[in-house]
Structure 1
Amino acid sequence: MSGYREVAARIRADVEAGIWPTGRPIPGIDKLKDRYEVARQTANRAVQHLVSEGLLYSEGRRGTFIRPPAPTPTVARDQHVYRDELGYFFDQNAQDWRGIGTPTQEVGVPPADVAELLGVAKGEHVMIRDRAVGPPEASHPLQLATSYLPMPLVGQLPVLGAAKTGPGGIYDRIEEHFGAAISWEETVGARPANDREQQQLRIGAGLPVLVVTRVSRVGDQAVEVNRTRMSADRFEVAYRVTRDETARWPREAERSE
């Protein structure tokens, strides 16, 4: 009798062979159990296993779908900020990405670590701006971005809480307000995707999200914390490795010979 992992391997082979089209649900559990001649529970476990691996994703009552292949090339984030006629952007390979769905703005309490980075008291309200983005042809987002802004700054600059912030977005408005350039610092980590991220990014529970936390400052003042999440199998971080003075070439011993 076939175990669920063996059935999962057979389903994977059929997916890779193009038996079912991407964008349409695969057959239901009852049809799969008949196709692979296994118990219903075995077929269901096999499908859930492939969802957790990221090959498939579930949309509840709509069914289970084949996850589209990763973009080529995988989007790489480097250590530069860029600018075009629309404003600043941080992923050079994602320059033409657009917003998907309706962005939201609300006043709420940020995560404790975000509050600390932003320099506000734990439990203090901030302005929270959420948006989702993806390639022009995408039906669902590949990145989820949340910006947190301190309320005193929003009080001085109400446009930061508006649905439309004008050309260049919040960064141009902040630089105009202070008459100074923003500097950015990013940290990159990974964690399991939460339920909302799994649903929006169409990934299984077994796939982690890459989390880029960017702190925006004018001088020493933190003016925004942005937390961008993306499926870790579709993005990478790329940067040039430079030599510290301790690693200079020629090495000291060789230079003295």
Structure 2
Amino acid sequence: MGKETPIYIQIHNQMRKDIEEGVWKVGERIPSERDLALQFKVSRMTLRQAVQTLVDEGILERKVGSGTYVSSKKVQESMVGIASFTDIMLSQGKKPTSKTISYHVKSASVSEAENLKLTEETLVLRMERIRYADDLPICFEVATIPFNLVEHLSKLEITRSLYKALENEKGLRVGHAEQTVSAMLASERIAEYLEIKRGEAILRLKQISYSTEGLPFEYVRSQYVGERFEFYLEKNK
């Protein structure tokens, strides 16, 4: 090993290379610190520094009472621009699917009317769905759309890809979105839907989607599994 680079960084680099080359697979537990220290012929303190650096980078994750594992790659969504869940999944090489929990037409609630700039008597389509990536539940979503925009669309078209259906049938082009993200704990109902434990950390997203003409056409409340999804910000120069 070289003299200039700290030993723990050299070990970090080798372990990262091993992970990238598939020596340890995603979700696999790595050897104990004792075994790795023997393998690299360093003290456990030095080895622990290397592992902690990989944990800090999100490459490894510690599980209390279980060990250290290669992290699963999280699905990411940029907070700049707007894209459908389907497009986000496809862009990351994942298979998107959905399970519809409820689907009905009703009068807009106070919050739905306010966010979509409607009167409370206006009819809206409200649907609840579980969204999956490669059959793993990513989020529970409640979406509200003015009914006049979708009344001639089939349930299949709407649930498969709303944005594409609106563009093809209505000529409505997606513009921008207003998004608010906060942290919360999963309720018993949401935990069951997302196959996690009650009280686990989840990300709550509220989004109002606008057409290129400035028309609010979708109000979404989503709850994402914190360990499987992350948002990232892009800053324009």
TM-score normalised to structure 2 length: 0.57
* Deviation for aligned residue 1:115: 3.1
**Aligned counterpart for 1:116 among listed residues 111, 114, 117:** 114
Structure-1-length-normalised TM-score: 0.53
What is the correspondence of 1:1-257 to structure 2 with a 5 Å cutoff? 72-78=72-78, 79-81=80-82, 89-90=87-88, 94-102=92-100, 104-108=102-106, 112-122=110-120, 125-138=123-136, 141-154=137-150, 157-159=151-153, 162-165=154-157, 169-185=161-177, 186-218=179-211, 219-243=213-237
Q: 1:95 to 1:131 in 2, by over 3 A?
A: farther
1:127-180 Cα offsets, whole Å, 9 max, x none, are 112222223253xx22222221112333xx421xx3211797321232234434
Q: Distance in 2 between matches of 1:167 and 1:199?
A: 21
8 A contact 1:70–1:234 mirrored in 2 = no
User: Aligned in 2, Cα 1:193/1:113: closer, same or farther, shift over 3 Å?
Assistant: farther
**Unaligned segments of structure 2, at least 5 residues:** 1-28, 31-62
Structure 1: unaligned runs, 5 residues or longer: 1-15, 18-54, 56-65, 244-257
Pick the structure with more strand per residue.
Answer: 2
CA distance in 2, matches of 1:167, 1:101: 9
Aligned to 1:113, the other structure's residue is in SS state helix
Aligned length: 171
CA contact (8 A) 1:109 1:126 kept: yes
1:114 is matched by which residue type in structure 2? Answer: E
Cα 1:166–1:127 shift into 2, 3 Å: closer
* Contact 2:97 2:135 survives alignment (8 Å): no
Consecutive aligned runs of 4 or more in structure 1 exceeding 6 Å deviation: none
In the superposition, relative to structure 1, how do residues 80 and 201 fare at CA in structure 2: closer, same or farther (>3 Å)? same
Between 124-133 and 91-100, the greater mean CA deviation after superposition: 91-100
Percent of pairs with identical residues: 18
